């Protein structure tokens, strides 16, 4: 499958189909889900980063179980908001994920989502151990919420 922009992926979704947010890190992958009205993103799970085929099977199983019809993957632009090597690697991974799962994928700038989420959790008094457990799925929810807000605007 190809990568789509937000408007294209939204047009492909069946009524009531959720979107799944995916934040691919080097060690873990955060996963978040929208509600069926595609207005609110919620953290869902953290997966260990494995081979693409294994992660795609996990993501496809979650999508099937939860009624997700498309994926929003974080795009790590560089400090100057430009498309660098990390963004290219994420784009290649997202394309492979789309092909392996059969789900359409759109990418959304993930700049500062993990750092902002980390700061919010620290300010909320969340322990370091607990932050390590939830940071990835919280960042995925932030990425997905960015996309949902853009779609609703």
Q: Could you report the per-residue pLDDT of 127-144, keeping only the tens digit for each?
A: 888 877 788 999 999 999
Domains observed in the chain:
3-152 (3.30.420.140)
Question: Using an 8 Å Cβ cutoff, are 34 and 18 in contact?
Answer: yes
Q: What is the pLDDT of residues 38-70, one digit of tens each?
A: 999 999 999 999 999 999 999 999 999 999 999
pLDDT category at 153 given cuts 50, 70, 90 is: low
CA 54 to chain centre: 17
Average pLDDT over residues 111-119: 75
Greatest alpha-carbon pair distance for the chain in Å reads 42
Mean pLDDT of all residues in 76-98: 87
Quote the pLDDT of residue 133: 78
123 vs 114, higher pLDDT: 123
DSSP 8-class letter at 59: H
For residue 60, the model assigns a pLDDT of 97
pTM: 0.91
Could you tell me the pLDDT band of residue 13, with boundaries at 50, 70 and 90? very high
- Share the mean pLDDT of the chain: 91
Residue 29 has what pLDDT? 96
Tokens of 110: 């993930």
**pLDDT over 80 (residue 112):** no
């Amino acid at each position: 499958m190809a990568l789509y922009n937000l408007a294209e992926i939204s047009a492909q979704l069946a009524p009531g189909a959720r979107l799944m947010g995916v934040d691919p890190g080097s060690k873990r992958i955060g996963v978040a889900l929208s509600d069926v009205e595609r207005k609110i993103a919620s953290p869902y799970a953290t997966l260990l980063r494995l081979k693409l085929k294994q992660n795609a099977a996990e993501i496809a199983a979650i999508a099937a179980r939860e009624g997700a019809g498309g994926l929003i993957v974080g795009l790590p632009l560089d400090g100057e908001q430009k498309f660098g090597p990390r963004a290219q690697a994420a784009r290649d991974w997202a394309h492979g994920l789309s092909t392996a799962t059969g789900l359409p994928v759109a990418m959304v700038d993930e700049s500062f989502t993990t750092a902002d989420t980390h700061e919010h959790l620290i300010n909320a008094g969340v322990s370091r151990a607990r932050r390590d457990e939830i940071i990835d799925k919280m960042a995925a929810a932030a990425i997905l919420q960015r996309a949902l807000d853009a779609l609703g605007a």
